[in-house]
Amino acid sequence: MSLEGKKVAVLAENNYEDMELWYPLLRLREEGADVNVVGVEANKVYTSKHGYEVTSDLAAGDAYRMEFDAVIVPGGGAPDKMRMVPEMNAIVKTNFDKGNVVAAICHGPQVLISAGVLKGKRATCYASIKDDVLNAGATYTDAEVVRHDNLITSRVPSDLPAFMREVIAALQ
C-alpha cells in the first residue's frame, strides 16, 4: 500500500456532495492512509445532499491542533457551513502553511477562501463560485484538476478520478 503512515483529514458537514466525500475517503483508505472524518463535533452523523450518512471521527476543535499529510474538502452545500467554523478554517490554513496537501473539489474552495490560502495560486472550482475564487486572489483555470504547489482543486464529481490521482501522487 503506497500511503501507509500518511494521515488524512476529510472535512464533513451536512449537505456534503456524496461522491466528493466518499470517493476520496475510500480511495485513500484503499491506498493504506489513515483517514479521519472531521466534523464540527466528534461522533456526529452528517447527512449528504442525497441522504447518505457519515459519522465524524474527530471534532474540528481537536483536529485543528493536529498535523495531517493531507486535508480534503468535499463540495456540495457543506463548505458554506464549514467556512463559518474557525477551527475548520484553521485545519486548512495550518496544514497549508506547513506545506501539507490541501485539496478541495466543487464548492470546497469556499473553505480555502475563508482560510486565506488562495491568493496568488492557480485553482479551479464549481462554476458558480468562480468569481469568489478570483476575488480571493487566485487565478482561475477551467480544468478537471489544478495543482499549484501543495494546493489541489477540482470542479465536479466527474473530475474525481483525476482529482484523486493528483492527491495520491502528491502524497507519495
Contacts of 37 (CB under 8 A, 6+ apart): 9, 10, 11, 12, 21, 25, 46, 54, 55, 56, 57, 58
Burial class (CB in 10 A: 0-12, 13-18, 19+), 144: middle
Percent above pLDDT 70 for the chain: 99
**Per-position DSSP letters for 12-52, written without gaps between them:** --TTB-HHHHHHHHHHHHHTT-EEEEEESSTT-EEEBTTS-
In angstroms, how far is CA 150 from the centroid of its own chain?
12
Indicate whether 106 belongs to any domain: yes
Residue with cell 492557480: 122
CATH number at residue 122: 3.40.50.880
The C-alpha atoms of residue 158 and residue 162 are separated, in whole angstroms, by 9
Grouping H, G, I as helix, E, B as strand and the rest as coil, residue 90 is: helix
The C-alpha atoms of residue 80 and residue 53 are separated, in whole angstroms, by 18
In angstroms, how far is CA 20 from the centroid of its own chain?
9
Q: In the chain, how many domains are there? A: 1
Indicate whether 2 belongs to any domain: no
Indicate whether 67 belongs to any domain: yes
Contact 113, 162 (CB under 8 A): no
CA angle 35-41-43, nearest 5°? 60
Average pLDDT of the segment spanning 100-112 = 98
Grid coordinates representing 49? Answer: 445532499
Indicate whether 1 belongs to any domain: no
Contact 154, 72 (CB under 8 A): no
The C-alpha atoms of residue 8 and residue 109 are separated, in whole angstroms, by 18
Kindly tell me if the per-residue pLDDT of 91 is higher than 90.
Answer: yes
Which pLDDT tens digit goes with each residue over 11-29? 999 999 999 999 999 999 9
Indicate whether 34 belongs to any domain: yes
Grouping H, G, I as helix, E, B as strand and the rest as coil, residue 154 is: strand
The C-alpha atoms of residue 41 and residue 37 are separated, in whole angstroms, by 10
* Domain range enclosing 97: 7-171
Catalytic residues: 107
pLDDT for 1 = 65
Indicate whether 148 belongs to any domain: yes
pLDDT for 43 = 98
Which pLDDT tens digit goes with each residue over 30-65? 999 999 999 999 999 999 999 999 999 999 999 999
Indicate whether 74 belongs to any domain: yes
Which pLDDT tens digit goes with each residue over 110-169? 999 999 999 999 999 999 999 999 999 999 999 999 999 999 999 999 999 999 999 999
Which pLDDT tens digit goes with each residue over 72-83? 999 999 999 999
